[in-house]
Structure 1
Amino acid sequence: MTQPLPLILSVTPVQRGIFDRTRGTVPNVAVVYATGAGEVAYLGGRPLTKSEQTFGAYRTRYDVDMSDHRRSAELRSTPLPSRGDFYFFKASVDVGFRVKDPAEVVRRNIRDALPVVYGYLANRFRTITRSFDIEQSTAAEEAIRRAFAAEVDLPEGITIFEVSPRLLPDENATRHLQQKVEAERSLHANQVLHAVNVQQALQQGELDRMLQLGRIQATQTELAAMGNRQLTAREMVQLHLARNPQDTEKAMSLLMAHEQAMIERQDRQGMLQTELMKFLVDKDILQAVDFESQLPQMLGPLGAGPAPTAISAGTATWSQPSTVPGQGGPPPAESTGPEPKPLGTVLERDPATKVWKPADGVQPVYVVVDESAEVGPYIGDLSDGVHQLHDALLRATDVAPAIRLSVLGFADQVTTRLPLEQVVAGSQSPWFTARGPASYANAFETLLDQIEPDIDALKAKNLKVLRPVVYLLSGSDPGADTAWASPYKRLVDRSSHRYAPNIVACGFGGAPAELIADIATQPQFGFVMKPDTDVHVAIAQYWRQLAQNVITSGRALISGTPELAPEPPAGFRLAREVV
């Protein structure tokens, strides 16, 4: 229990006799007098004169303690609430105080100073701590110290000249903070583990891709060693069983059935040929002397002809057809008129390298995505979206040869998430990581440095290369920073940059419509999110439409009519409408 601190040390009546002497005072004690009517007077510390003592109106003398007092206490009965009044601080305080107005102390009859001082501190502390979260105990302490940096006079005649608080979360708040720290540690550990798993998956995908390429090259080497000669069905089965001995029973059964069918076919052809020759000779259509010379010409149109040829070595592996397949049915009859225009060419085979490649060129596509800290809340949506784009191109095998895809992430620096390459099975799927402020200038500088060598490398492979397309997705505002304008101008200026790309720009979140409209190289190429659209939904719609736009442009290229006509994603509108 806290011991009381009396400020009124003594109360004595004033001796009014002629021979009574006034008692003296000490420096740390103030003397206050009260009249019979209750009026209080402080005479500056001097004692009463003889006449004032004998004939004056003062009836009672109060000795008031004027010393400096320092106390340490814990405010247990009045816990201090944090922001929201859900969690509380435990408070202990070192306080220094003294009496400033002894007359007011007497007038208010303050017997114990501690309730007055502690009550004032608790109320004042409570007002301050309500402005801070439970995690901000240090900041709350500093705010209290600033509030009591100067002396504080209380209406009770007491001055507080020193306050040194110490705040700690109470038991419930401590338990909450411990759980929060453990959860953050667990989240960080899971993020690190996820990054490790992603890296392992990427490495495994790269290894699988290398193994696949090795198998393809080994097959090509085997076929080359055979001189690319024609293989019979038996030789092809033997080649398969050398690699897959577990298929022996089924393969041999199918081979025997095939050879039996070939024998039966030859027998039927022999019988038909014999009957035909007999008929022609019996009817005197064919003379014996002409038999040998006329036989091949007469049997050819009837389908007898030579025996079936062996299967070509080139059919041992799958090759993409050179034209778009028809709808089925029998082949068209021969015509003596002009040949019809062929359907859109998909691939052509280089006679020197035996490699299939797009006939009407390839379309380089650069996807540039904002991964600055400002879009941090949506980085998961951006990564999910680029995975969906990658998967969509993997499934669209008909357009894969015509598209070369590169993915870049930009913040304070630019990171190549996927170099320019054809999307095939085993290729790396990109991802994004939130980091730093967005630098549009670095993004355009990187495109300037990267596009030209990429295009030159494609042309070195004797490919026809279309003008690159850049799809830029941004969610941040560069503010007053206009440093991006110069590299952007050099990037899109076709008079100085021979590979100047078309840029399709989309903005969400904090990306201003004016910026998006300025970046898009055509007015119909700039889109911004509608204000009533949820950002997560808008990002998902963007990636869905981007995959459709890329696949559509790829198919247009394959059909021989390349055209860039991007459709706006659902939930977006033209930026120029807003500007």
Structure 2
Amino acid sequence: MDSPLHRYADWDQHADRHTQLADPVVTVRQIGRLGLPGRAPTRIDHALVYTTRRGDFEVFLPPHRPRRLRRRYTAVYEVDMGVHPVRNRIPLPSADDAHEFEVGVEFDWQVTDPARYVRSGHRDVPRLLLGELEQAARPVTRRFTIADSAAAENELLTAVGQGKPLGEEAGLRVLWTVRLRRDEENIAHARRLQAIEHEAAEEIRTQQCGSRADREKADRSRAQHERQLELQEYEARRIAFYREYLTHGGIDAWAMHLAQHPEDSAKALSSLREEQREQLRAQMELIKEMLTKAGTEPFELEGPRRLAIEAFTAVFGQHVPEGPDPAAAKTGHTDTSR
């Protein structure tokens, strides 16, 4: 007769290493009273949990296996002891019943006490762990509004971490983490408000920058206008100065000034009225005589004379129209020796 472990299984998930398990019990086989010794057809990394007629459990952890099946065994459970990940989302209440927190949950669970798990009777480990988490978390999140998701998450981590380890009563070891956030409707609402705030801030910023640019432009225009007024006022003062010298006969000072600044003659002449130019021509003759006559040491006036004569010849000769020479009127020709 075949070994009872080779008989048809009462429960078989047909699981392999890549199967996503919710129940770590892979197979369950009943053992008859006449069962013969034999080798268990199980994977080496699975645990075997035998039940006795008295309701006790005998466990063989991998890689250990029984040498023979005893008559007092009634059934054998093949239990997967690998690590299994779970990713899920659950809703948790907030202080306002109109809104809920959305909690992202990550579990890594493993059977560490196969006999305890078989005795517990659980068949859905993810549902077991999520239920224990919800039971511990709901009183915590109830104290926070939907806007206080960060504070609620910190309090939730502390409360669950200090409580009884998840899955302990079922013989499980669980590594877990949670991430708490607002529900999708509230997140979408917050994003719409944020977009409105960003648009408003951008518009205000644009207006502020535009106003500042307008002020800077106005300041530059005003400064330029003031500069032009200052230049005009300065030119007016210079013209008045030249006119004063030319009108009241400040010939000596005027001649020395032009010797040093010959470029000023054109500006002065352009401001004179036509009747004043006739007077200037007569004064120019006097200035030439003054600069060419002897009266001081030659070395003292040599430089000023030369500069004044060159200035008057180059500038006055171009800008002051020559009048008819009295001698030429009598003789019929113009003297060009000057």
Into which bin does the TM-score normalised by the smaller protein fall?
Answer: 0.3 to 0.5
Length-normalised TM-score, structure 2:
0.44
Length-normalised TM-score, structure 1:
0.27
